[in-house]
Amino acid sequence: MELTRRKILAIGSGTLALASFTGLPAFASLTDEAIAALTGGADIGEGVVVLTAPEIAENGNTVPVKVEAPGAVSITLFADGNPVPNVATFNFGPLSASRSASTRIRLAATQNVVAIAKMEDGSFQMAKANVKVTIGGCGG
């Protein structure tokens, strides 16, 4: 095969695209594994959990997030673009009022934040929010 300039460019962009495809979902599948470990592969519903996160976070070191899930026993937060997807688990006790919590989290890059709530009847509910991060929060 004769290597023309055009062909080399085509090969180059092909491998680049491949690299970017294999790069990101590696983290995403970590998140899927972590979620599966939490739910035990049970079906996850949507609609009950309210996850409030900014659309654009200028500083990935402190991104304010709020989760609320009436009737939840616990809520676990995941960030699918972080080196470690787990962020925090909130376990609500008998004196917890609204089953909601706010905190500030670190996000390494633009990614999805996922909240999984375990409900009182043992079922699972989820919510997802995409956050665009201008400056990542994992240091270097």
Partner 1 sequence: MASGVKPRVKVPKTAAAGETITIKTLISHKMESGQRKDDDGNIIPRSIINRFTAEFNGQNVIDVTLEPAISTNPYFQFEAVVPETGEFKFTWYDDDGSVYEESKKISVS
For partner 1, the binding residues (CB under 8 A) are: 61-63, 66, 79, 82-84, 86-98, 100-107, 137-140
**Cα-based distances in Å from 108 to 67, 88, 126:** 20, 16, 22
Instruction: Decide if 39 contacts 80 (C-beta within 8 A).
Output: no
Beta strands at 50-52 and 56-59: parallel, antiparallel or unpaired: unpaired
Nearer to partner 1, 52 or 123 (CB): 52
CB of 43 to partner 1, least distance (A): 24
Shortest distance, position 69 Cβ to partner 1, whole Å: 13
Tokens of 1: 């095969």
The distance of closest approach from Cβ of residue 52 to partner 1 in the complex, given in angstroms and rounded to an integer, is 12
